[in-house]
Amino acid sequence: MPFSAICGISSVLIGSFGVMYKDRKLRWLTDRLATERMRQFHFQHYAAHPAMILAGSVDEAAARFYLEKREKDFERFKASLLSRLEDEFHGIVEADDAGEGLFFPIGKETPDALHPHLPEYLEAYDMLRFQRQIDYCNLLLSENRSIWKHAPARQAKFFGGVAFFCLVLILALDGLNFAGAISDIAWMNAPIISLAPIWMAFVALSVRTLEEGLQPGTEVERMTQYRYAATRSHARFRAAETPEQKLEAMADLEHASFEEMLPFLKTNYGARFVM
């Protein structure tokens, strides 16, 4: 009776927590959207204005002109997205096609192929964007990362192993209990043998709840696809012989970055429980 009462009270508390958690989850996701879109804004602005940036590298007036333009563009970005973040979020998660996600047309403005600072400009994007994105994917997909950190690959393997272990143990204990009933062996019918499968089922359900919250399988699939897209674009960037071709590869990565964000927002918004 006390155990039943505890379970009943716990279910009410868990249900209430779930209702209260909805607003917190929405706040977390809109903050994540703002962070990702700001990052995308700055790198897309960099990729879309190579001629202005290179001109500013040798002329202070041109540098001031570019910085003022970027500041104005960022103010427009804040007005169009950050000031209406929740509306933008719902527009993305509820849309069948959210578009390419580019704030600026990359490739329309092309740099002088002979500009002395062009290699430095391209190297900066390579290091800060291509390599950082690929390294981040590798980090999340590594099975050597601590399971208590954001390590979806190792978490997926761990949860799968625990669930399988619980299933095998439940079947073994039920089989033992059944054999004890047939053969009339007392210790096989002991209360602990009868109750153990119930507790193991509870453990399996708890693990499933954690898995639902962390969603490691979905994260692994998303990161694997994004790493493939980023690696492919990086290879195109490295193999490109002209600035125009390199800008095309940069545009590919920016598009892939936006595409990677969409399933993350949609999946977590639709999840019943998120950690």
The pLDDT tens digits of the residues spanning 23-62 come to 788 899 999 999 999 999 999 999 999 999 999 999 999 9
Distance CA 159, CA 148 (A): 12
Neighbours of 193 (CB within 10 A): 15
* The two structure tokens encoding residue 204: 């399996």
Distance CA 126, CA 238 (A): 9
Distance CA 269, CA 263 (A): 10
Distance CA 67, CA 50 (A): 13
* The two structure tokens encoding residue 264: 């993350």
Give the model's pLDDT for residue 20. Answer: 42
Q: Where are the domains of the chain?
A: 2-270
What's this model's pTM, rounded to 2 decimal places?
0.76
Per the prediction, the chain carries an average pLDDT of 84
Judge whether 106 and 46 are in contact, CB under 8 Å.
no
Amino acid at 251: A
Q: What angle do CA 174, 176, 179 make, to 5 degrees?
A: 110
Give the model's pLDDT for residue 98. Answer: 86
Task: Give how far Cα 254 sits from Cα of 47, 55, 163, 180, Å.
Answer: 9, 23, 38, 64
Give the model's pLDDT for residue 150. Answer: 62
Neighbours of 51 (CB within 10 A): 15
Judge whether 163 and 208 are in contact, CB under 8 Å.
yes
Give the model's pLDDT for residue 1. Answer: 44
Give the model's pLDDT for residue 161. Answer: 78
Distance CA 122, CA 72 (A): 24
DSSP 129: I
Distance CA 77, CA 29 (A): 19
Give the model's pLDDT for residue 47. Answer: 98
Give the model's pLDDT for residue 160. Answer: 76
DSSP 128: I
Q: What is the mean pLDDT of each run of 10 residues along the chain (275 residues)?
A: 50 48 82 96 98 96 97 96 93 88 95 96 98 93 66 73 80 77 72 76 74 73 94 98 97 96 88 59
Judge whether 266 and 205 are in contact, CB under 8 Å.
no
Phi/psi for 240 (5° steps) reads -65, 140
Distance CA 269, CA 29 (A): 8
Instruction: Please enumerate in sequence order all residues whose Cβ is within 8 A of that of 18, keeping only pairs 6 or more positions apart, or say none.
Output: 272, 273
Judge whether 151 and 214 are in contact, CB under 8 Å.
no
